[in-house]
Structures are given as structure tokens and as C-alpha cells.
Structure 1
């Protein structure tokens, strides 16, 4: 069967294994999954994910292969290699004793990704700059100050996933695999690490949970964030201070992602840094 024929059997198989704001994921068989984007999702972003994943899979063995883009009615999809396994968050909650080793491996893999150069991808600074400009909750004075600060930071050529967190890591029998490369850029590895640090420590929780569970999650977040930064710094040969330099533009850029639960905390941190 040719890859572009998969689109005609997705709904017959009916094996929906995941869905998010932008796409649904269907398992076709033991070797393939389809990521079917929602109707109206920009074609340019789908093409960019295909391009970024293709670049990553050429240099890193821990990336599922993307095979082909296709259309299914009014929707567009990407055919991927199927990598079975839970995501890293699910694995840690089911086996807390593995938190240290898995977080260490997670950080080491991030440093490995940053060894790859990706001149074909969009620039990190331009991506951050556009996000800051589009963040409605930032006033013009804050935006100007943050953008001027961003201009003084170093650029880079490293492959940066730029959405590297536990839910985008699959724990398979072949090791950790990195999925969802739509945000990938070329730029500073320290900026990518700063974004991961923020997501690990401060991203808004999903779903409801008890008071005790929320307390446990906060303790776990502090632990994994500290462990991630320590191991990443060791593996990548960079200091925490170099990561800290990127905090201001990284958290300001996060405001463009329309996560209201995070806005108050981020704005407080921005004002503290700008003082």
C-alpha cells in the first residue's frame, strides 16, 4: 500500500490514540500512525513540521520518521513511524522510582539535540520576537524593553525543539523519542533550555486534582527542574547563568500562547527582572 493511500483507511480503522488543539492521531498498524490536522489548520505550519522532523530524524535516532504528507477530505495529515510507549509524564507517575534516571536521560538527550546544526530552520530570535509582539497582555513599554534586551543576546545555529517537555517524549523499548517538532528553530541552546525549565517548573497544570496530589506535583516539579538544569548544564557544558540570561524573553514569548492561568505569574516575574 502506498503511503498516500493511508488517508482512505484512517476512519475505517477507528483507532484514535490521541488528540489536541491542532490535530488527532490515529494508529494505522503496528508500524505507522497518522497525525490528522484539524480542518483549516495552516498548510504552511504542517509543511514546516514535516521539514523540521525530516531534519531532526537525519541526525538523531531518537526521532520518529515522518514519511509523507497527504490530504483526507478537507484535512491534511502526516504519516509517521509508530513508536509505542507512554509519554515521560505518564511513565514517571506510574513509576516514581525512575524519576531521577529518566530526568537525567531527558536532559542528556536535550544536550545531544543541540549538537546538531540546523541552518535551514527559521531563526529563534525572530520566532521569539514575533511572539512577544503578538502578546496582548504586554504593554508597549514592556515590549520595547524586552525586545531591546533580546537583541543583545547571542544568536546560534543549534537545532532547538522549542517545546521540549515530558509530554513530547515517548518512553519506548528503544529509549526516549522526541515528537512534535512544529516549534523547532535554529538558535541558542541556552534559550531552548530556558524554555524547557519554565515549562517543567511553571506551566499551568491540566485537569483537576486533589490538594494532596497538587502538593505532590509541585514537589516533583521542583525536583525534576533542578535535576534537569544540573544535568543539562553538565552535558552541554553551559552554566545556569547562561540559561538565566534567556528567562526574560522566553517567559514574555510564552504569553502569546494564550494560557491565562500563567499570565499573572509571568507578568510578576517580568516586572521583577525589569526593575
Structure 2
């Protein structure tokens, strides 16, 4: 039996099982095999991901992590914008240095493709990256550009309470980000548009990324 609901994302819910484990369950039909393979591969390389205990169909039993999301830590001032930017840049750099595994095209890295402050937990052992459903081999600049675009989406939304801090975080992140975050920006926008099913305009966010990168 599942315990209380701990969190809900765009596609999945997380339930407590006990003090050590959580159940992450997709609300749609899903096969978590690829996601689990990516997480176990990264864990074997020393990258900070939750441990996977069991997986089948649309369910994963994962390590229960302590600590707030990076976004929550920013809200409470437990983390500064410069610290958050440093963590994001370092997590992307470390991720793209992990060999992507057998069968990956030459010159590619394993990408997260949704690495932003809501998908980083600030735990006692340091930042841990969650939500690997988009993981796949590809060009690292696509991953870094997507992180920048997601921050920019918040920054250009005047209704969002964190619009101004997100803009500052974006600028700090772009100063530290590995690779060339704007090189594949057109492709990044197309991917993000697909992620959101065409529900949001991204042109202003892309312009903000370019302006902050200058």
C-alpha cells in the first residue's frame, strides 16, 4: 500500500512508503526502463541521483531524500542565487562528463533535459537531481540551453512571484554554465514547446536568454 502523497509533478506523483523509500508513479501508461537504466548508470559513475530499489511498468521505488528543492531553498534564503547558479552549472558539467554508455552516438553525452531548481533536492549529502524521464544521449549544449530557457520563462512572466529572482539566477547561471548555452537555442525552443504541448509562448524567454548571454 502507498502512504501519503508527498509531491506531484507534470506527469507523476510521489508517495511515501516508509522512512527510507518513496513510490514514484506516472499518471499515464509508461515504461520506466530507460529512466531507471539512466539513473543506475549515473549512480555507478558517482553522479548524485536517488537510488532505485525496484521498478516495473509505470512505478519506481526510490530512495527517500531529505531536504527541500533548490527552488524552496531559494525562497527561504537557505541558498543564495549565486550558490544556486553554481550548483546548476556544476551539476550540468558533471553530468556531461559521464560517458553516456554503450550504443550512444559518438560525441554525445547523457542529457537530463529538465534540470532546473524544482528538480534538484538540497539534501544532507548535497544536491541530488531527480526526474530523469527525458534522459537521453545528445549534445550537451541542448541540455544547458534548456536549463537557461526554463529559468527565462519564469523571468519574463510578470505574474510569477519569482520573476525578478529568476532573471538574476539566469544571468548568474549563464556566467558559469558549461559549453555554449545559446548555440542550439532554436532547437531548445522547439524541444521545450514539445514538452509543454504548445501551451506557452517561448519567444520572449529565448530573447531573454540571448540578452543575458551578451
Specify the TM-score bucket, using the shorter chain as the normaliser.
0.7 to 0.9
Does the CA contact (< 8 Å) of 1:201 and 1:222 recur in 2?
yes
Query: Normalising to structure 1: TM-score of the pair?
Result: 0.67
- The within-5 A match list for 1:98-109 is 98-109=80-91
Specify whether residues 122 and 166 from structure 1 end up closer, same or farther in structure 2 by C-alpha distance, changes over 3 A only.
Answer: farther
Question: How many Å separate the matches in 1 of 2:6 and 2:134?
Answer: 22
Is the counterpart of residue 189 in structure 1 residue 140 in structure 2?
A: yes
Provide the residue aligned with 2:164 in structure 1: 219
Matching of residue 22 in structure 1 with residue 22 in structure 2:
no
Counterpart Cα distance in 1 of 2:9 and 2:45:
28
Change (3 A) 1:221 1:267: closer
CA distance in 2, matches of 1:268, 1:32: 42
Instruction: Compute the displacement of 1:42 (Å).
Output: 2.6
Cα offset for 1:265? Answer: 4.0
Q: Do the aligned residues in 1 keep the contact of 2:156 with 2:205 (CA within 8 Å)? A: no
Check conservation: 1:87, 1:170, Cα contact below 8 A: yes
Compared CA separation, residues 106 and 268, structure 1 to 2 (3 A): closer
Higher helix share: 1
Equivalent pair of 2:6/2:15 in contact (CA under 8 Å): yes
Change (3 A) 1:226 1:21: closer
- 1:89 pairs with 2:71: yes
Asked if the contact 2:155/2:163 (under 8 Å) is kept, the reply is no
SS in 2 for 1:108: helix
By how many angstroms is 1:170 displaced? 0.3
Q: Does residue 35 of structure 1 match 2:17?
A: no
SS at 1:244 equivalent:
coil
| Greater RCO, CA 8 A, separation 6+ | 1
Determine whether 1:262 maps to 2:207.
Answer: no
Distance 2:163 2:155 in 1: 11
| Count of paired positions | 207
Q: Which residue of 37, 46, 49 maps to 2:35?
A: 49
Unaligned runs of 5+ in 1: 1-8, 124-154, 270-275
1:248 aligned residue: 186
Counterpart secondary structure, 1:164 = coil
CA distance in 1, matches of 2:184, 2:203: 19
Alpha carbon RMSD of aligned pairs, Å? 2.7
The structure with more radius of gyration: 1
Contact 1:67 1:80 in 2 (8 A): yes
What's the TM-score, normalizing by structure 2?
0.84
Cα distance, 1:226 vs structure 2: 1.2
